[in-house]
A and B are shown apart, each in its own frame.
Chain A
Amino acid sequence: MQRISQLASHLTKTHPKTFLRNFTSKMASNNSNIHLYTVGTPNGIKVSILLEELGLPYKVTPISFSKNEQKEPWFLEINPNGRIPALTDTLPDGTPINLFESGSIMQYLVDRYDTEHKVSYPRGSKEGYEVNNWLHWQMGGLGPMQGQANHFFRYAPEKIQYGIDRYQNETRRLYSVMERQLEKGDYLVGDRATIADFACWGWVAAHHWAGVSLDEFPKLEAWLHRLLERPGVEKGRHVPSPHTAFDMKNKSEEELEKEAEKSKAWVQAGMKADAKK
């Protein structure tokens, strides 16, 4: 644990791309030292949206997928899974903590910093468990399945129609589950936007990239824009780089194809490297 802390603090000083957010606002007390390692993907912006919603000061180190930085030894020390986001912090007693998996990072942050329950419910409450339910649904369902749709629709070396259909249909099915839930209220759980909403937001915002339309899901589309009106969501979605999901709709399929080409090279190189291990 100490080694990780040293590594992280070493990195803060030396990583050329690290920048600070909200440090002009009131500094969080009790040793808080939040450092987010991220990319502007649906999983990455979940955490920056939450940090902005909570108004917390934090350091950001953008990770470069094209340089395969998420597989470099210093990053694997923080997250052996080699995925983003990852987060380090210091507990009130000075002990360092480092976490990966966006869902668990979000729960840690609200547990510790959202003591007024602006975007969460008290631990052990009915609503608290329901938020956890929807968070797990996003982590185990919406994220992985929409991610597979992206793979087969945008990145796969060969076009497999069954793969495209399978995961686009599953994404649509998952959107319909959200649609039905949002018929009951403005947010997934209760009377407020919570980490369950933030966790899903980046994925739903990127629907066009996965080749899925929101036309059949009016409540979901209204929810997407309702959340976008929140200053925290607006700020957080652009960390560490401008959020482009909404611009995709204005591009031709040829332009989108070009966008995908840029990523294809490193996606496939990464897959090959993993396969060799």
Chain B
Amino acid sequence: MTATLNPPKPIRVWLTPPGPNGWKTIFLLEELSLNYVFKSFRFDDVKKPPFIDINPNGRIPAIEDPNTGLTLWESGAINQYLIEQYDTEKRLTFDDVINRNLCNQFLQFQMSGQGPYYGQCGWFQHLHAEKIQSAIDRYSNEIKRVLGVLEIVLSKKGEHEQWLVGDKMTYADMAFVPWNSRLSEVLMQLWDEVFEGTPRVRAWHEKMVELPSWKRAMEHRARLMDEQGLQWNGVPKGIETFTEYEEKIEKGEMKYD
């Protein structure tokens, strides 16, 4: 299906492979079959040139589009740009005022409600050296709350329109996939427990991870993780904890062949 105007020159996507936010953009690029190329780099270099000159915020992803000369960071803003610029047939968005604004609304909910809290929960659950139960509980409860809100939204939709906006999948639905795919790790629960009480959210999510575009994105991730010798949590093999990894980066002790 070619529902898009494909950019003649590849869009450069800067990312470090472990984090979920880069895959939000790759998922969309794959789903739209757009011309792009990876600029995969190590977490060690996220606050250094050349990346810091591309994104002063020192976070991934960022894109450079040589076709328009635009540099953008913040996954949500990048994805909206890709949709406006290249999804000319509105395959993953809508043209009318209400649905266009609703897509934006749910993307913003993902950016402000899902991403930060899943991220903090993952941090306290896995990456922080000391176990602080009240912080883990705070963010786990928030995740359950967000899943509950999504369940309510889907429960108000008809059986054949189980999408956040209108009757088809949009970039807003897709934006939730990378973090929801990590729920089991982030909450340290089995998949069945994760979705207790939110069957519609589960069905909605599982429908999207079956897409060839998501599967291709995850194949790329596995390859790029392997290329950098990273464990599942983003810490290089041979290093125990994230704190140790950060200390080594700080001291300039990370050496690669």
Contact = CB atoms under 8 A, between A and B. Distances in A.
A50 B69 CA distance: 30
A76 to B, nearest CB: 8
B152 interface: yes
B190 interface: no
Interface residues of A, number: 49
A123 to B, nearest CB: 7
Interface in A48-104: 76, 80-82, 91, 95, 97, 99-104
A36 interface: no
Interface in A172-188: 174, 177, 180-181
B110 to A, nearest CB: 9
Interface in A130-170: 130, 132-133, 135-137, 139-141, 143-145, 148, 151, 156-158, 160, 162-163
Q: Taking each of B59, B74, B107, which has the highest tally of chain A beta carbons within 10 Å of its own beta carbon? A: B74
Interface in A183-206: none
A13 interface: no
B112 A143 contact: yes
B56 A180 contact: yes
Interface string A209-244: 000000000000000000000000000000000000
A137 B74 contact: yes
Contacts of A275: 137, 141, 144
Q: At the interface, is chain A mostly helix, strand, loop or mixed?
A: helix
Interface stretch (B2-10, B25-33, B76-84): B76-84
Interface in A97-141: 97, 99-104, 107-108, 111-112, 123-124, 126, 129-130, 132-133, 135-137, 139-141
A171 to B, nearest CB: 13
B91 to A, nearest CB: 18
A135 B107 CA distance: 12
B67 interface: no
Given A91-B97, A180-B56, A139 B144 contact: no
Contact of A160 (B75, B76, B107, B134): B134
B111 interface: yes
A148 B120 contact: yes
Interface stretch (B98-106, B207-215, B249-257): B98-106
Nearest to A107: B104
Contact of B111 (A91, A100, A136): A136
Given A133-B74, A145-B116, A277 B144 contact: yes
B111 A160 contact: no
A173 B223 CA distance: 32
A133 B98 CA distance: 22
B47 to A, nearest CB: 10
Contacts of B132: 160, 162-163
Interface of A: 76, 80-82, 91, 95, 97, 99-104, 107-108, 111-112, 123-124, 126, 129-130, 132-133, 135-137, 139-141, 143-145, 148, 151, 156-158, 160, 162-163, 174, 177, 180-181, 271, 274-275, 277
Closest 8 CB pairs of A and B: A144-B116, A101-B108, A136-B74, A104-B105, A140-B111, A133-B77, A136-B76, A136-B77
